[in-house]
Structure 1
Amino acid sequence: MAIKLTEMDFDQKISRNDLLKVLKNEARSIHIQDIMKASNFIRDDAKFMPRTEREDYIARFTKAFFARIKDIKDDGTIYTGEVDPDTLSEFLEIQNQLAQKSNSSDEECFHRIACVVATYTTFVREESIHPVGTRFPGGFTLQLVNGVYLCPVKDKQKDTPSALCRFCVAVQDESVDM
């Protein structure tokens, strides 16, 4: 069995549990310094946001990275079902392309952690890629209502080549008219 995402064989079935094992190995290789570098990138990336939104964005994503890495390491759930290897491969290829375009080691750490976390939430947990409460332009937020993730920007982003929205379980929040 593969121990890294880059070593996975996409020509065979992949169980959610096997993917979790790989993600646990990946999460163990992420250190506090990596999360600090990713936080620096988030801070730099948000520098042009309004101050109140910027502080919330930085705090929310830094906290989400810490929490999700811990969640992955500690996850003892037995998941049923399999992951579509073609979809997972496409998802990871987009993540890899984004990482290759990194302009700094801080950005590279961000993409590495985001890949592990987004893969976990999307394919193992089958949850929204963005944390519930994530704010988007216009003051709209991602919500969880009756077990359904409602995203205010899903329809606007799902066809963007580098966006992961098309893989996300969230659906368009119909109450948001964009």
Structure 2
Amino acid sequence: MNLPHAVVPDEEHGVQIDPRSRPEFARISAICDRISGSKTRGELGMALAREVGHYSMYDLQVICGRLQHEISRLPSPYREAIRPYFLEQLFGMHHRLLLMDREGSFLPMTSLVPDPDLFLSFCSMVPEGCFRWEDGREYVAHLYSPYHRLFYYLVSAFAMFVLELPGHPAGTPFPGGFRVELRDNRYVCPIRDREEDVPYSICNFCPAVQDEKNRPESE
């Protein structure tokens, strides 16, 4: 899957640089290559658990601090409604991933990773996706790194390709009163089709389908 190269700002020199020239890019690409070799859901779960297990408590605190900052910028009462779902999306899934690995739950999961081509496209997208933010506008930008962004993609891969759940948990609210829902044994999302032009969004790889009954009127 060919995607446009990401560019990130070099704050010291005020120029745009290709992330492929940064040393972190090679390391993140190697991680994605390892993950992409998983054939079954169980193999992928164990591979993701190994990578997520490298994050320290300090890393998790930085990630959590940034998430809380982003939530605080949302208008009330939406920020109060969305907070538990964002926390579940990142840290609930993180806990579940490590717990399943410790309990050996991945060993009997021998079914193939769903939609292998889509999964490989996801792995191909992630390295550049890890650099798609504006450092100057980020909360504690000097602490937040591409590896912290990678955490978001790793736990999302667990949800979508191991558990076959939507990237945003069922019940996640969106402005206008719409939510991700489980309906007739499939997950539906009111904004699933809106992400097609955002190449680094997890929504492009989500097993949820567009909710045609509750499609926002602005579309």
Report if TM-score (shorter chain) is over 0.5.
Answer: yes
Aligned to 1:155: 193
Aligned to 2:22: none
Cα offset, 1:149, TM superposition: 0.7
Gaps of 5+ in 1: none
Gaps of 5+ in 2: 1-29, 136-140
Decide which of 163, 167, 170 is 1:129's aligned counterpart: 167
Which aligned runs of 4 or more in structure 1 are off by greater than 6 angstroms?
none
Matches within 5 A, 1:26-175: 26-75=51-100, 76-77=105-106, 78-83=108-113, 85-102=116-133, 103=135, 104=141, 105-106=143-144, 108=146, 110-175=148-213
Q: Equivalents in 2 of 1:147, 1:110: separation in Å?
A: 33
Larger RCO (alpha carbons 8 Å, 6+ apart):
2
Q: Equivalents in 2 of 1:34, 1:54: separation in Å?
A: 24
Matches within 5 A, 1:14-25: 14-25=39-50
Give the secondary structure class of the aligned counterpart of 1:123: helix
Q: Could you tell me the TM-score, scaled by structure 2's length? A: 0.68
Query: Is the CA contact (8 Å cut-off) linking 1:46 and 1:58 kept in structure 2?
Result: yes
Q: Equivalents in 2 of 1:68, 1:88: separation in Å?
A: 18
Identity over the aligned pairs, expressed in percent? 25
Give the secondary structure class of the aligned counterpart of 1:14: coil
Cα offset, 1:7, TM superposition: 4.2
Cα RMSD after superposing both structures: 2.5
Cα offset, 1:13, TM superposition: 6.7
Equivalent pairs, count: 174
Instruction: Kindly name which structure, 1 or 2, has the bigger radius of gyration based on alpha carbons.
Output: 2
Q: Could you tell me the TM-score, scaled by structure 1's length? A: 0.82
